[in-house]
Structure 1
Amino acid sequence: MFDINEDIIVKIRTGQLEDAKSVLEIQKNVVSEEKYLITVTEEFNKTPDQQREWIQKILENERETLIIAEMNGEIVGWIVFFVQNRKRLSHVGSLGMMISEDYRGMGIGKLLVKELLDWAKTNRLIEKVSLGVFSTNQRAISMYKRMGFVEEGRKVNEIKINENEYVDDIQMYKLI
């Protein structure tokens, strides 16, 4: 349990299969914003069963984790760490995070990233945490930098928002 202030208490915990519906709902809502994700609404068609299968695979892999943020018993955000199944990349993984729009700017993202980094430090198999972030997502970039992430590279005009608008994909990392 973490106190953001005297009125707001956030519970951070490991994800469970029972969280699939709430995790999926947050994902659908964030995708529908079409703001900071590569996936657009018409491409996102994950079913509750597929979401449960995805969570089950994460729970079964000692190099992956799903961490949940709850307020008043409601899931308000989550962070996932996933790896590629390649021997030479087995020490590296990427994070993805989604927070319900009404709960952004409260420090929940920072709590989730901190918990993920603490988990990675205790996992003898993980040496590097990576992420990709839209160059337009300045709030997230600032938070990642404050938490010790470094820009590793930039894929220029990687994401095409519309006919005349492009966004760079900034690659960041933190060694554990």
Structure 2
Amino acid sequence: MTKNNTQVSLRTGKLDDAKAVFEIQSEVFSENKYMVTVSDEFEESTEQLRNWIQSIVENEKETIIVAEIQGNVIGFVVFRSKNSKRLAHTGHFFIMIKKKYRDMGIGKLLITELLNWAEQNSSIEKISLGVLSTNHRAIALYKSMGFIEEGRKIKEIKFSEDSYADDILMSKFV
């Protein structure tokens, strides 16, 4: 349930979600606000996203969790693991939600579900993410869920000639 009592269903993503994931990514990238990738750099096709989702579904150390309202995918979180033996206990995630459905608590629901999944996965010990220093709402959410700042890449993201954001590196042990 969201903050405004809207019923949200969470489930593991599947190949059939590729079109919805594509549409959400296109919308989020077009906002040109909190992502490193901008819309004109987003060149993946629905078929490429299907292959990407397939690779996640087939890897027991990775997951994609989608949020649905009335059968429509409105957001997702993706966790990717590391391939190196010494990093195999770690991974990173990113989350995207359609603008219309933000500030309803869906991000928290998705991350909670991700953390529950990670706690059940004996090979995952640490979950990490990167967030732009300008994304104050996301930073507050991550901190409220126990993520800590591990580092910061100063002026890593350049918006314009004199406008930058830091890339904040956050993590949580599960």
| Residue 113 (structure 1) aligned to one of 98, 111, 114 | 111
Return closer, same or farther for 1:5/1:97 CA change in 2, 3 Å cut-off. closer
**Coordinate RMSD, CA, aligned:** 0.9
Give the CA deviation at 1:84: 2.2
Q: What is the rounded CA distance, in whole Å, between the counterparts of 1:15 and 1:105 in structure 2?
A: 22
1:148 correspondence with 2:136: no
Q: Secondary structure of 2:40's partner?
A: helix
Task: Give, in angstroms, the shift of residue 6 of structure 1.
Answer: 6.9
Contact 2:3 2:104 in 1 (8 A): no
* Offset, 1:41: 1.2
Three-state SS of the structure 2 residue aligned to 1:148 is: coil
Q: 1:65 matched to which residue of 2?
A: 63
Higher mean alpha-carbon deviation, 104-113 vs 160-169, is at 160-169
Q: Which amino acid aligns with 1:117?
A: L
**Aligned match of 1:138 in 109, 113, 136?**
136
- Cα distance in 2 between the residues matched to 1:43 and 1:5: 34
Superposed displacement of residue 155, structure 1: 0.5
Which of 51, 54, 68 is the aligned partner of 2:52? 54
- Residue 21 of structure 1: how far off its partner (Å): 0.3
2:161 aligned to which of 160, 163, 166: 163
Q: Is the 8 A contact 2:15 2:54 kept in 1?
A: yes
Residues 40-86 of structure 1 deviation map (CA, whole Å, 9 limit, x = unaligned):
11110100110000000000001000000000111110000001211
**Cα distance between partner residues in 1 of 2:127 and 2:92:** 6
The unaligned stretches of length 5 or more in structure 2 are none
CA distance in structure 2 between the aligned counterparts of 1:154 and 1:6, rounded to whole angstroms? 34
User: Identical aligned pairs, as a percentage?
Assistant: 55
* TM-score normalised by structure 1 residue count: 0.97
* 1:155–1:16 distance in 2 versus 1, CA, 3 Å: same
SS at match of 1:155: strand
For 1:164, the aligned partner's letter is D
Q: Please name the residue that 2:77 is paired with.
A: 79
Q: TM-score, normalised by structure 2?
A: 0.98
